[in-house]
Amino acid sequence: MDRRGQLCVGIDPHPALLAQWGLNDDAAGLERFSLTVLEAAGEQAAALKPQVALYERHGSAGMAVLERLLAACAEAGVLSIADAKRGDIGSTMAAYADAWLRNGSPLAADAVTLSPYLGFESLRPALDLARDTGRGVFVLALTSNPEGASVQHAGGPAGRSVAARIVDAAAAENAGAGDRLGSVGLVVGATVGTALTDLEIGLAASRAPLLAPGLGAQGATAADLRKTFAAAYPQVLATSSRGILRAGPDPRSLREAAARASGELAAER
């Protein structure tokens, strides 16, 4: 983020986008789409975030494409975030951690998204392995989908919301990070509006990188992000997917769209 700015480009090969690009909805189309985004936008972004479900829908052939994309990102020096939203307990959580965070795994990414709703401590295998391998995790904390509020806004001990307690737990994990961001990030939607203030959540002290989906096609602007995240804005890694991907398949157009988004984010610092 210091070197490349605060933009994360989501790689979301939806069937409609593949069709718009003139590609077949198959593994070959998936690979062409993915590698084109890497080539065009990789140097404009701090990270690329492939949506794992859109590779899984193609079965083993789709997951093989994802493996090649993650390897290509590593070779190009582009950080990758596997948007897998994994979450379980015990040996199953350890297996998820092994798949996405172990050195030498064919699916190894620089970070993976996790769901904490079996209890934050259930994520321990991934938290520890990420720290040991120099990788990171992004834990779902406050999402902007309407259904999320029924769980994330719910109160608990001392009236603290579930979302606030997830932020607290991430802050505890990052306590040794000093002036740098820690390895435990948080997913906070770009379009959560006043929820952070309403729930009395302070993100700046968490030392967490903040993955913020919703820039562009979902309606959030860089100015909205600055207002929503306030003092924590420098920690924000803002994700734009369709807002940039719709500029394809021309690599130059994709590169220009990513550069515009990155410039708008930088102007708000």
Given the residues 85, 160, 246, 260, the one annotated as active site: 85
Please give the backbone phi and psi of residue 162, each rounded to the nearest 5 degrees, phi first: -55, -45
Q: Is the dihedral of CA 261, 263, 266, 267 positive or negative?
A: negative
Asked if 125 contacts 94 with a C-beta cutoff of 8 angstroms, the reply is yes
Residue 192, token pair as written in the block: 């959560």
Residue 193's CB is within 10 A of a number of other CB atoms, namely 14
Q: Is the dihedral of CA 200, 85, 23, 73 positive or negative?
A: positive
Q: Active site includes 227? A: no
Q: For the chain, what percentages of helix, strand and coil (3-state, to nearest 5) are there? A: 50, 15, 30
**DSSP character for 72?**
H
Please give the backbone phi and psi of residue 81, each rounded to the nearest 5 degrees, phi first: -120, 110
| Residue 160 CB partners (closer than 8 Å, separation 6+) | 168
| Residue 153 CB partners (closer than 8 Å, separation 6+) | 161, 162, 163, 195, 199
Please, which residues bridge with residue 161 across strands? 155
Q: Given its phi and psi angles, is residue 32 left (phi above 0), alpha (psi -120 to 50 degrees) or beta?
A: alpha
Hey, which residues are catalytic here? 85
